[in-house]
Structures are given as structure tokens and as C-alpha cells.
Structure 1
Amino acid sequence: MAEQYGFYVDTSRCIKCWACVVACKQWHEIEAGTVSRRNVTETVEGTFPDVKRKFESLSCMHCENPLCVANCPTGAVSKREEDGVVVVDDTVCIGCKTCEQACPFGVPQYVEVEGEGFKMDKCDTCLSIGREDDQPHCVLTCPVQALHFGPLSEMEALAAEKGGARMEGETAPSVYVS
């Protein structure tokens, strides 16, 4: 396999503006109130007057050892050889939700497709709609440049500058956070 790609989230820059979430929904024509391929979470640490807030914009982790791929009974979920991005073939997905149960991060979500039942939906790094400058639209839209996407070696270097680290887990998530 070619080099694994992934994300780096600079939490010192994220301002919880939701631009990444809105861009994703807009570019993928996702109806409001349904699935969200990218989510912004908030963590609060400490007690008054020493309180720290941290925001993280996360999507599919595009794991090196994805359990969703290993557990999909139809082969609808696969990992691309050229960059390690985990993708879904919705023509093969039967909506059984096995991938959802296997994913330790709760990433897979389901949308009802008229006449076909439920199909899994998740971040595909904008492969299904075309990337601009080889970047997902969430990265390009971030007004404070808190999101980055590329080869893991580059994401590791960016994270190291800020004292960040790779997210942990048995699946080896392809995400660095600082």
C-alpha cells in the first residue's frame, strides 16, 4: 500500500464555528437534521477560574486496521490501496449495521434510501464529489486552518510542532490531534 493518509486537528486553532460541518453537508447535499459526516466536540477541563475548553472536528478516522472493513459481510466497506481512505460502495451495502457495531468511534451512520432501505454513510475525504487541490472541502473551508489532510508522516510532523499525538486505539486511527 502507498502511504496512509489522514487528518491533523489543531485544537489550539479550532473555534467551534462549524464551518467544516456545514461545508461537508453542503458539498455532499446532505439534508439538515440527518447524518453528519463530520462533528465538532467540546471538552472542558479544570475548575473555575482555571477552566480550559478544547474543540475537535472529527470524522471517520480512516484507520490503518479498520474494524468496519473486517466485519462488513458484503464487502461494501473497503480501504483504498493508494491512500488508505476507507470508502463505502452503497450499491453493495445492505444496511445491516454490522460496521456501526464494529467501529469503536461510532462513525457509520445510516440514511434511508427510498425503495432500497438503509445505507451506510460516512466521510470519504470528498472522493465521491471530487477534491479541490487534493483536499477535502472541510479542510479548505476551515477559516482558522485547524484542519489538515495528507500523508500521515506530514500530519505527524504538524502535530509534533504543537506537542500533539496520534489518536489511540486498536484500529490505529489515522488522526493526529494537538
Structure 2
Amino acid sequence: MYKFIVDTHSNLCIKCKACEAICKNHNNVPPGIYRIRVITINEGKPGQLNIPMPCMHCSDPACLKVCPMDAIYKRPDGIVLVNKDKCIGCGYCSYACPFGAPQFEGSGAFGTKGKMDKCTFCVQPYEQKDENGNIIENEPIPRCAMVCPGGALLAGEASEIVRVFRERIRGYTAKELVEKVFMV
């Protein structure tokens, strides 16, 4: 079984927002919802950072732990999804997530926000089966990572992403990595 992860590189993001556009278009995401967004720190100043922020599909997701309806679940391959039929829109997940991944259409009181929406790693909303009824395991390909011109987003099978990450940092000291990433 594959394990999937997301890795972001702020020093490679050029803030083109192609990731935001392809995600909204491919997934028919409603207005006001961003399954991925580019956050800018120190905009227009030396050391500006552009950080692509999708759901990180955490190994130990805080959103899953606080959901009173068990609407959020983690697949065996590591992808964290929400069952919208179970979601009551309480918003606990949005308070628990350190990345701001859970999004709601509304901004009202408890239970009036609508159903939670978040990055799905571009998996199908249903499992595809072959003629014998066996689940077809396709490797999901997040569109945001596919269209990123700077390579700031890497998403895919964990061992491959770790290999690419290690290749990118090879030869740097810890101090050089901090300077490169945070431009200090």
C-alpha cells in the first residue's frame, strides 16, 4: 500500500497561484473556499516568503481527533478525507488544524457554517472497482503539484518525496538550510 505525503518549498514558490486556480477548476470548489492557498509573509520586504498551504494529510491529524461526528477519516494510504454526509459544520476541525486546511462556506455560529471542505489529494470521491468488485488502487496525482512551475509543491508516494527532498538538501549545512529557506 502506498503512503502519500505533501511537501512544500517556500523558497521555490513564485506566487503565481496556478495551484489555487487548477484546484478550484478541477474540483469545482465553491467561491470562498480554498483547498490550497498561497500565504505571503513579509510581502514586498527582504525575506519575503510565499508558502503554498494545502492540507498536509498529517500522519496524526488533529482535525480527525476533534471531530465529534467521526466525519473526518484517514485512508490506509495516508490521505485524510471528510464524509460530508456526517459533517455537522461545528468547525472544531478548523480550530484544531495548524495549517488552516478545513474550510467552510459560511461564517456563522456553531453548525451554521455549512459542510467542511478541504484538499482531497485529488482522489475520486468514490472508490473505483474492477469487474470482479475489487477496489482499483490508483495513485492520486494532486493537480496543484502537477502545475507548479517552480516545483514548490511535491506530492505523491512518501518514499519518492523523501528521496527528492533529501536530494534537494544534500550538501547544505543546517545554517545554510535555514538561510536558504527563511532568507535570513
Which amino acid counterpart does residue 36 of structure 1 have in structure 2? Answer: Y
Most deviating of 8-17 and 54-63: 8-17
Structure 2 CA distance for aligned equivalents of residues 154 and 148 of structure 1? 10
Return the index of the structure with the highest Cα Rg. 2
**How far apart are residue 154 of structure 1 and its match?**
1.8
**How far apart are residue 13 of structure 1 and its match?**
2.8
1:153–1:98 CA distance, 2 compared to 1 (3 A): same
Question: Hey, what does 2:58 align to over in structure 1?
Answer: 63
Which amino acid counterpart does residue 64 of structure 1 have in structure 2? Answer: S
Structure 1 CA distance for aligned equivalents of residues 19 and 125 of structure 2? 16
Question: Hey, what does 1:100 align to over in structure 2?
Answer: 94
Map 1:123-142; keep pairs closer than 5 Å.
Answer: 123-128=119-124, 134-142=140-148
Structure 2 CA distance for aligned equivalents of residues 133 and 162 of structure 1? 24
**How far apart are residue 75 of structure 1 and its match?**
1.1
1:162–1:106 CA distance, 2 compared to 1 (3 A): same
Most deviating of 3-12 and 57-66: 3-12
Checking the alignment, whether the CA contact within 8 Å between 1:27 and 1:129 is kept in structure 2 is: no
Structure number with the higher strand fraction is 1
**How far apart are residue 117 of structure 1 and its match?**
6.2
Checking the alignment, whether the CA contact within 8 Å between 1:108 and 1:122 is kept in structure 2 is: yes
Structure 2 CA distance for aligned equivalents of residues 151 and 26 of structure 1? 24
Identical pairs, percent: 35
Write out the 4+ residue segments of structure 1 that deviate beyond 3 Å after TM superposition.
none
Structure 2: gaps (5+ residues) = 107-111, 127-137, 171-180
**How far apart are residue 41 of structure 1 and its match?**
1.8
- RCO higher in structure (CA 8 A, sep ≥6): 1
Asked if 1:118 corresponds to 2:124, the answer is no
1:111–1:44 CA distance, 2 compared to 1 (3 A): closer
Structure 1: gaps (5+ residues) = 165-177
**How far apart are residue 77 of structure 1 and its match?**
0.2
RMSD over aligned Cα atoms = 2.6
**How far apart are residue 55 of structure 1 and its match?**
1.9
Map 1:1-178; keep pairs closer than 5 Å.
Answer: 2-32=1-31, 34-44=32-42, 51-81=46-76, 83-111=77-105, 118-128=114-124, 134-163=140-169
- Using the size of structure 1 for normalisation, the TM-score is 0.75
**How far apart are residue 143 of structure 1 and its match?**
2.5
Structure 2 CA distance for aligned equivalents of residues 129 and 145 of structure 1? 27
**How far apart are residue 80 of structure 1 and its match?**
0.2
- Using the size of structure 2 for normalisation, the TM-score is 0.73
**How far apart are residue 133 of structure 1 and its match?**
7.2
Checking the alignment, whether the CA contact within 8 Å between 1:8 and 1:158 is kept in structure 2 is: no
Checking the alignment, whether the CA contact within 8 Å between 1:9 and 1:147 is kept in structure 2 is: yes
